[in-house]
Amino acid sequence: MRLNSFEALNAFARQIERNIKGEEFGTKVVVTPSSVNEKGLVIKISLLKTFIESRPPAARASRIIRVRVSVAGSAASMTGLKQASEAIEALDRYLASPCLRLETEDGSGSVRGVPNSRIIQDISPEDSFMDSPDSTSAQDVQDDRIVTITIPQEVEK
């Protein structure tokens, strides 16, 4: 199966929605740009870059899709903070799974891994998910990570 970047982005968003669940939070996954601006916790998926790997030459058969995955919401209370931290932990557990690959759904709802695909996350140790952790007022929470998705690319002959 050959996917383009847009199809892979949406398949990844559905994959996150299927696999990130918690007892204390509901999972709403949004692909940006989107007009969705609601209260509560949202996982935002944003396309950052898509390109064909050029080195080594054999890698030209792969397309790299870089996306930002953000857990965003409002921490107006300790409950909001607990929900955000649980969502971040669930996302970490899933994205740290060994041999994680992109999944697609067929018309019947069956899920299959895309052959020769992979998903790797990169987290900056510098980030803070609250703007000013010492503040006592309601705060917006945003935890960002960069995810690299590699999928097979049509090779021109």
Which comes out higher in pLDDT, residue 14 or 157? 14
Which comes out higher in pLDDT, residue 115 or 22? 115
* Structural domain includes residue 119: yes
CB within 8 Å of 149: residues ≥ 6 apart? 8, 12, 64, 65, 66, 67, 102, 117, 118, 119
What CATH number is attached to the domain comprising 129?
A: 3.30.2000
Q: In this prediction, what percent of the chain has a pLDDT beyond 70?
A: 81
Among 86, 85, 102, smallest CA distance to 14 is for: 102
Q: Which range of residues forms the domain containing residue 20?
A: 5-152
Residue written as token pair 């021109």 = 156
* Structural domain includes residue 157: no
- Report the DSSP beta bridge partners of residue 147: 67, 121
* Structural domain includes residue 13: yes
**pLDDT score recorded for residue 28:** 87
Which comes out higher in pLDDT, residue 123 or 15? 15
Render pLDDT for 21-72 as a digit per residue (tens, 0 to 9).
Answer: 877 777 789 999 876 666 678 899 999 999 998 777 666 688 999 999 998 8
Burial label, 87 (beta-carbon count in 10 A; 0-12, 13-18, 19+): buried
Q: Report how many domains make up the chain.
A: 1
**pLDDT score recorded for residue 37:** 66
* Structural domain includes residue 116: yes
**pLDDT score recorded for residue 45:** 95
- Report the DSSP beta bridge partners of residue 42: 72
**pLDDT score recorded for residue 157:** 42
Render pLDDT for 76-112 as a digit per residue (tens, 0 to 9).
Answer: 777 777 888 888 899 999 999 999 999 999 888 899 9
What average pLDDT does the segment 120-129 reach?
Answer: 75
